[in-house]
A = this chain, B = another copy of it.
Amino acid sequence: MVKLVDVAREAGTSVATVSRALNNNERVDPALAERVRAAAAKLGYRPNFVARNLRRQSTKLWLLIISDIEIAFFTSVARGVEDTALKHGYAVVLCNADEDDHKEARYVDLAVAEQAAGVIISPHSDHTHIERLIDAGIPVVLIDRGLDEPVDSVTADSRGGAQAATEHLLQQGWERPACITGPQSAQTAVQRRLGYEDALKSASIKTRRVVHRPFTIEGGRTATAGLLDRNRPPDSLFVANAALTLGVLQELQTRGLRPGTDIGLVCFDDAPWAPFIDPPISVVSQPAYRMGTQAAGLLVERISGGRDAPPRRIVLGTDLIVRSSSLHPAR
């Protein structure tokens, strides 16, 4: 590897001058600077970030720790974060915590040890590890899931969206809805459940029919099976995420039940395939990409601006997209 001292030798000057010339020409003779640049190019010099970071005690690297990379929502978020980061000269790397507390902790430690410039994280549960980041003075922005901590956050209005979705089912004429949501530990799962219950309350429906499961296809399948095997099974479902939805569809298919005909269905989180399912799925859509850009924006401000400005919580609205799966056959 060619290093600063090699460039200095080639250009016939000192390492200090080379460093200055290559960085921002702060008072370096233009002719010399040009010679240095030429020498660096000739030798193919690439700065060693490890050394630079050690000296500067800072990096241009963000960690984006997401709770499950297989959820399409997060990949859109990631793209939003990345596009914004790039504009501000930061590189973003993704870490997949996989809904696993232990893995999340590992990545948080990585952020500290590598002295990341900032972290955007969708915390797995309330019992999270962001304290370590705060202790280490690393700016943090929460995404998708908020916490009680005084930290910047960007979330979608899960509760409102869930309520709207459930009200839509009721308006359609479905009478016995159920809710399939994620684990109790996930704030989004709880919020979506609460929104569902808000709608039931307004409609004076007493039976709750709520099932918590991991946010997975398998979770959706078993939850659906359990609900349909009850004595008084639900006639419609509000499902809290796209992975769960695939499991629901699988179980419905097995039983020969057709959404929109035999059972009403609305899901949280729009997926690119939702319009092509048989029948097309009605969904609550979240502005995933925009959540990413907003979170990145907050992080940039937090890093460069005031570190002790009061935390900001951005809540973005959701849209109900009615397709066919939620329509009642009688109407």
Contact = CB atoms under 8 A, between A and B. Distances in A.
B53 A50 contact: yes
A95 B93 CA distance: 5
Contacts of A103: 86
A94 B91 contact: no
Interface of A: 1, 46-51, 53-54, 59, 63, 69-70, 72, 75-76, 78-79, 82, 86, 91, 93-96, 98, 103, 106-107, 109-110, 112-115, 136, 217, 243, 246, 249-250, 253, 271-273, 275-279
Nearest to A137: B1
A107 B92 CA distance: 9
Given A49-B114, A50-B53, A70-B79, 5 more contacts: A46-B112, A47-B113, A93-B94, A94-B94, A253-B276
Q: Which 8 A-B residue pairings sit nearest by Cβ, starting from the closest?
A: A278-B278, A93-B93, A49-B113, A94-B94, A273-B273, A249-B276, A50-B54, A50-B53
Contacts of A109: 46
Contact of A246 (B54, B79, B276, B278): B276
Contact of A273 (B59, B93, B271): B271
A110 B116 CA distance: 14
A301 B105 CA distance: 27
A39 B232 CA distance: 61
5 contacts: A69-B78, A93-B93, A246-B276, A276-B277, A277-B277
Contacts of A86: 103
A84 B47 CA distance: 31
A115 B50 contact: yes
Contacts of A276: 246, 249-250, 253, 273, 277-278
A92 to B, nearest CB: 8
A91 B78 contact: no
Given A50-B54, A54-B54, A279 B278 contact: yes
A106 B91 contact: yes
Contacts of A94: 69, 93-96
